[in-house]
Chain A
């Protein structure tokens, strides 16, 4: 790898390779990469605007994998694309702040700095795009220009952001990146349609890492792949993250898959975050009824299969102004106050996790058993028990 990744790689070397132990709770706020505050996105204007993202707070720490889960239309992709300023009309960012905290970058010679993403100029945005935030899309076939060879994709990115590199260096870097994702350099001469889905997605990942970004956004990177390839890519991503220490925002509707890779998971519903917790806690002991429903409706990657149960009903119409809890119509445990008061996202259980549900405000007398499960102590200590388990299996 290039010298630029050395500091981040060093930071990682403190922990053993197979267990990346960065407890979210232990992270200082100065370790933030991305901070999103009170963020709202609408589609359209005025009365008929669809409020796709509503007052979301989100932060991503260095080297953290933050998973964002939710069903289609929950606003998870909209949120991330809006924050990175990639959304197009008619989407309107109707409020909120998003700031990117950047390390010193030896490649570009830039110092530690903060970028206000909502106020950044076009020029400033261009300079941080890909060099600091890169993105991997769901369908690599569509994300790669069909008439360009793979080498051209790498060349273009390096040419734009690394003016100091000559042709041979760019080529060498592309070969090096392909090796990282386990592909032979002869793939460089290929066109996208000549490669398999797994190879294309690996190329997208290699491309995303080309400039040593501090944040990589994965928008359902494995959804279009078969289960075996999915598993391979997830484990490769985990290794790459451990090696280079980039932070990741991993968007998917597949909660079971997310538990495999994420340190922390935020569950979105109807444009808001309803629960946020360390991955294992969220998986083993969900606190929000919607999280519980999501878990019951997807097969686990490990362990015993349970009977899959869907969540009855459908998400609310986001063009309407929502009063009360947006999930109450589908919630089996809905209380009276859910209809009139919107539950805030508050810290529960010693601040280790957050949930937006009236059942957990301390006043509920008969909390359903399913939302009361305990997380074992060992699991709570290590936020990534899955990673350890993985090595053994």
Chain B
């Protein structure tokens, strides 16, 4: 327990450093970012927008840097991330509408890829040298192809030409988002191709990792013991897999951290309304408050995922608890 608390305090410090960097970076830019922005808007700027920009950077309030800093922290505490310049809406509400799409798409793909890859890797490791090993070059081929290219090709073949899958967007444009069966069904139909693309391009990593760990584990004495105990084959495999999965679980937590920053290119290819698309728009329009907000969210998810990885490992591998026990 003590070890976990120590890790937690480390994360608090890291988060604080990230937030501070987020505060300082715009202020290190040459010139006054507020004026740059107003200049870019070329007069098409309302007084409210000017005020919003100034607030976003903590300026125009005649505060010194320390006061600004604490003001910024205070705003963050209340969930205020400023106001987007181009979209004229609070960054937090923009993020709230974009994040679920990305988390849904990339999250589902990541977990699916993890499950498929881990199960396949377990079987491949157990039956090492069998004809199933030919799966490996096939999946590594898909891993080697850039996934946005794979996505484009799939879109072209299965979407535009064969019409097996709907293309572009996250749901049918005839439907209004809501919890209706038609909408959920449409969501799934539209999600199939992007999910398939991501799973195909990432499954090899999980599979190979798991297979290699399984091969190491199968040679372990405790697996021999499991056989000697007369356990059914399924349980023998579980003995090995339970240990082999540990590195994969750690990697999964890290992969979850990247869910929000997500597959920017996949979202572009499939025109998915997620964080990736939003970030691209924000960068193209130099929408600093939005960029800042997105970065903050990404940083925080990565940190949270790291923490999750630590906790998972702590739960799954008793040996990591020794330090606290001794």
Residues of A in contact with B (beta carbons under 8 Å apart): 84, 86, 125-131, 133-135, 137, 139, 142-149, 156-157, 160-161, 191, 193-194
> Total A-B residue pairs with C-beta atoms closer than 8 Å?
72
Complex Cα distance, B224 from A24, in Å, reads 31
Residue in A142, A149, A160, A193 whose beta carbon sits within 8 Å of that of B229 in the complex: A160
Q: For residue B226, which residues in chain A have a CB less than 8 angstroms away from its CB?
A: 145
- From DSSP, what is the main secondary structure of chain A's interface residues? mixed
CB neighbours of A86 from chain B (8 A): 224, 227-228
Provide the bound-state CA to CA distance between A146 and B222, in Å: 9
Interface size class of B (residues with CB under 8 A): 20 to 34
Query: Which A-B residue pairs are the 4 nearest by beta carbons?
Result: A129-B230, A142-B221, A191-B318, A126-B230
Q: Are A193 and B322 in contact (CB under 8 A)?
A: yes
Contact A130 B221 (CB under 8 A): no
Of B220, B228, B231, B246, the residue contacting A142 (CB under 8 A) is B220
- Give bound CA distance, A142 to B230, whole Å: 18
B225 contacts partner chain A, Cβ-Cβ < 8 Å: yes
Residue of B nearest to A135 (CB): B228
- Identify whether the interface residues of B are mostly helix, strand, loop, or mixed: helix
B243 touches A129 (CB 8 A): no
Q: Does residue B242 face the partner (Cβ distance < 8 Å to A)?
A: yes
Q: A126-B230, A128-B230, A129-B230 are in contact. Are A135 and B225 (CB under 8 A)?
A: yes
A-side contacts of B228, CB under 8 Å: 84, 86, 129-130, 133-135
Given the known A-B contacts A126-B232, A127-B230, are A145 and B242 also in contact in the complex, defined by CB atoms under 8 Å?
yes
Q: Pick from B222, B227, B231, B242 the residue with the most CB of A within 10 Å.
A: B222
Minimal beta-carbon separation of B215 from chain A (angstroms): 12
**Interface centre among B222, B230, B231, B232, by most A CB within 10 Å?**
B230
Q: How far is the CA of A144 from the CA of B242 in the complex (A)?
A: 13
A193→B232 contact, CB < 8 A: no
Q: CA A148 – CA B229 in complex, angstroms?
A: 15
- Residues from chain A with a CB closer than 8 A to the CB of B316 are 147
Report Cα–Cα, A146/B231, bound state, in Å: 18
Contacts of B322 in A (CB 8 A): 193-194
Tell me, yes or no, whether B239 is within 8 Å of chain A by CB. Answer: yes
Instruction: Assess A156 versus B231: contact at CB under 8 Å? Given A142-B220, A146-B319, A191-B318.
Output: yes
A127: chain B residues within 8 A (beta carbon): 230
A144, B228: Cα distance in complex, Å = 12
Closest to B317 in A: A147
Chain B 203-245, CB-CB to A under 8 Å as 1, else 0, gives: 0000000000000000011101111111110010001001100
